[in-house]
A and B are shown apart, each in its own frame.
Chain A
Amino acid sequence: MNFSRYLLKRVVFMLLVLIGASIVAFILVRVVPGDPARMLLPPQAKQEDVDRVRIKMGLDRPYIKQYLNYLKSLLEGDLGFSYHTGRTVVEEFKLRLPATIELSLLSLGFAALVGVWLGIISAVHKNGLIDHASRLFSIGGISAPGFWIGLLCIYIFYYKLSWVPAPTGRLSLTKEVVAGGSGFLLFDALKNGDWDLFKDAFMHLLLPVLVLSYSFLAMICRLTRAGMIEVSQQDYIKFAKSCGVKTNKIIWKYSLKNGIKPVLTMLGMFLAQLIGGVVFIETVFNWPGIGRYAVDSINFLDYGPIQGFIIFMALIYVLINLAVDLIYMAIDPRIQY
């Protein structure tokens, strides 16, 4: 199979995922109890007004037409409306997205760097003290719920030791987000040279990032270790060794590229889990991101944002998986599609 055909296949699958998500989001609002038109109006609204809004919203038309309309509005970048806050879902997401992106990207980066590094060390010292310690550490990360570790960390590092500020979200209550900034607090603070703000944002990020990255770090560490050990038994590594190539060069230059492949294969799955993990961690740390927003919306029975959340997550998932495929290809030129 050549590359363009493979790419076509992937794109078709991506579209299927997105269409699936849009159908789920569409059905969601149709099966929940309550009339969407009535929800938009004050409780004392007359039936005629409700009917008028129904017609305006297109709720009197057949489902297929309604779905096509919904699909059209999605393509126009309209994710719906939040009854609870009276703003569009896109606006709400824009407000919260930087918080979630900051949190998840830093966590993923930290997990990848430390996880790969720890995996390599464990593989090099196979069955040594470091290996056993890292195994124990990993088993804990895979078995313990992230929200529990988060709460324990708050108890230890905030209540007992006062090393970190109270879990009030991204900043202390006395600090304010930079107006007109990008929303990425660390970046904004640096740009404005506001050292106090940077420190505050950093200290608030510390625990959530460490806790969110723990389970990924554990999985990445185990996979890297397994991959590195497998590669180290291959002929080309043995040959390099017998030629007297330095150990460090063998590890970083020859083994790592192949040893890290299992991690890449699982990366898509990790990210799906990261999306789930974000929901819990944001709840624990009162992080004003889209994960906590989705949970709040369910509790308020605010369907618009839930719809938007489903579509948005499907989109992210699809894009990430495509990126993983491309990285995989860049790292292993033997792969022919």
Chain B
Amino acid sequence: MSQRPPTLLPKTFRDWFKSRGWKPRAHQLDLLAKARAGRSVLLVAPTGAGKTLAGFLPSLVELSERGSRGFKEKRGLHTLYISPLKALATDVARNLEIPVAEMGLPIHVETRTGDTPSHKRARQIERPPDVLLTTPEQLALLLAHAEAQEFFKDLRRVVLDELHSLVTSKRGDLLSLGLARLMTIAPQVTAVGLSATVREPDDLRRYLAPQHSPSPGGGGSTDRSGWGGSTDIDKVEDPTPSRALGATSPLKGEMGHEALADLVVVQGGAQPDIRMLDLDERLPLAGHTASLSMPSIYGLIRTHKTTLVFVNTRLQAEYTFQELWKLNDDNLAIALHHGSLDVSQRRRVEEAMAAGKLKAVVCTATLDLGIDWGDVDLVVNVGAPKGASRIMQRIGRSNHRMDEPSEAYLVPANRFEILECRAALDAVHEAAQDTPDARVGALDVLCQHILGMACAGPFGLEDLYEEVRSAAPYAGLTWEEFQACVAFVATGGYALRAYERFAKIVKGNDGLWRVRDARVAQQYRLNVGTIVESSMIKVRLGKSMRSRPGTVLPRGRILGEIEEYFAETLTPGDTFLFAGEVLRFEGISEDEVLATRAGAGTDPMIPSYEGGKFPLSTFLAARVRAILADPFEWDRLPPQMTEWLLQQRRRSIVPGPRDLLVETFPRSNRFYMTCFPFEGRLAHQTLGMLLTRRLERAKLKPLGFVANDYGIAVYASGDIAGRAAREPGFLDELFSEDMLGDDLEDWLAESSLMKRTFRQCAVIAGLIERRFPGEKKTGRQVTISTDLVYDVLRKHEPDHVLLRAARADAATGLLDVRRLGMMLERIRGRIIHKPLDRVSPLSVSVMLEIGRERVYSDNADEILAEAEAALLDEALA
């Protein structure tokens, strides 16, 4: 890090730093120098390094130098700040006011979020502040405004906070397109990205700089779906990611034509003090509740000032919260925070936390990023870490002073999680990162953006294409794909050109495209954004009527929301954990789930909905396989783990790091097949669906399967082991990559996960209108089931842009097909079949999921046959 002379800072600022007892940090001065040189820059720094101030310092200095403006003088916006969270934008605005006020700077700072009243919004357009803090969605809306050109033309700087988290999603795609537009409107603009440590800083540097890649040749389309994913195989073969700081992949460095923002890296602070919680008790083979560790966790909370207890799912959050309170003889202030809780309840927790009133918060990913919590001195992560970078960011939530070590504990809930925690600890000590690859920009997001740009004003096709391709995620976009998106926005883009006369955007005689009328623009504004919440349904506490037992009135308060598809699987009488209480499901009335408090001591039937949202990262999975395969590594594991692995070796086989162990064994008149690919629950679910199809075709009568993050168990009434013995190569055939051909296609036709994926694309692209949570359908509002649309489109135009978008999502999203493809390639010719006469120690862990997990099936007829049989039983009874 170069030592810049502090003279870069004007005297007012030097005095201010001094008055606070601070010295400007090297990276803060570096960013100032970059700004003076007109360079875009990525700042990679650990938490507590004064990142936000560094990002704003150049703007504050520049604005202070240009002096105060006259009362009537109109000036354009100088700096735009984008944060992934509304709350973060508000918080940063508050923090920014401090130096502005203390130095008496003539700088006007404002926020613009969904909560900003309309008169203020109008005034902001009329008289822009100097600094505006907002979110990606609000930026999209501003850019679609007819006044966008005027509003942004003087813009000097864009600051993108928590960039590492933004770029991994469709929001990042949308933001990249917005950034490209800003650079068209205001070519002088420079971008500053603020990020936690990532595996590939170059991905983010590229994101911040306009790309000028040569036009992809021909009319063909790039492979956006990533089906099969053979091109990524290297990443699986080599589990060692580049080290944290500043490493550049040589391959990418050679690509001459790409533009990169400058990079400023703040070396990580003190090594975190992180360890696995001592395991006095034997951990179960499956399950995620960590119930045995609760007393230890409670003990840690007692002896620390403030503790964040992270868990992976809302369900675990509910459970952990409840268990801690059972132990809470000291009446410690322990709170709960997750995405399903009512917003007001979440805000109360956040405020109490910021005020230092809480001893601990049990939370999910909702607190992964966000505002500074002050004095957290311990982070406890319950359950599997899932990813190395992820766990490091969570640990960073503790101790926001970068020079002191953060203290953290990993708490495995089952034996496999011991392996995962071990792998994560190693990764943390090596500062190895496994943040995801850069995204290929989604086509549905592009469709939304194109309509937005038409709302802003007329555009030329070639100009917009070049602008879009200057955004890094869309650098590889072909002309054909771009045209398909424009055609979709205009008329749906169908080969059967039936809707020309209803076109939403039309090409004028001047060759420019315009939005047809104000109503279309209105439609755009209502549907902007890429976050399609799965339909949520409110949970209301009901009151039982004393006079009429069994009758429940919807008179209580709203507790929060749960996913509609979860509510769909409940039947009256089921008990579940929610908002820290055991509730009894009473029914659904008027778009609300009605529930009552279950009697004391009721055991909640804990249904698992969607398990962990984040599958085990490829990187940690490879490390877990490596630990498993190397007996020398076992010494570093707790004795109960070593014992278990030794048992596995005696009874079956411990597979090598690249092998796939397939065990088969009979059990109570069924034949089981288990395997352990370690590719995460989502990829395993897809594998299970496809394997059962193939077993069906092989006439082995599969009955079902269960999957977890590590492996799957398939059960059948046909003898799988017998067939494998008679037919050499049967298993190789069963697991062959061609399952990603016709079998996958057949399944996609009816897969509910694929339909859900399609629905999200349809909403984002603007094919159907967004339904707002809690909004009731009015008679005039038109709704159509996207499932019906999916069926028809798939049959008549399988290559339609929306289906391409949905397939690209499915490759990495709910179906994780790409990872499955990489796995199938990895294990080709490396399947080790071990026929057993009973279940092995390794297999027990996944077998235990049976009954706990939902049995997956998209086969409607199976469900119906079962229901029909119930009718017959009734008739014969």
Binding between chains A and B:
no
List residues of chain B with CB under 8 Å of any chain A CB: none
Interface set of A (CB-CB < 8 Å, partner B): none
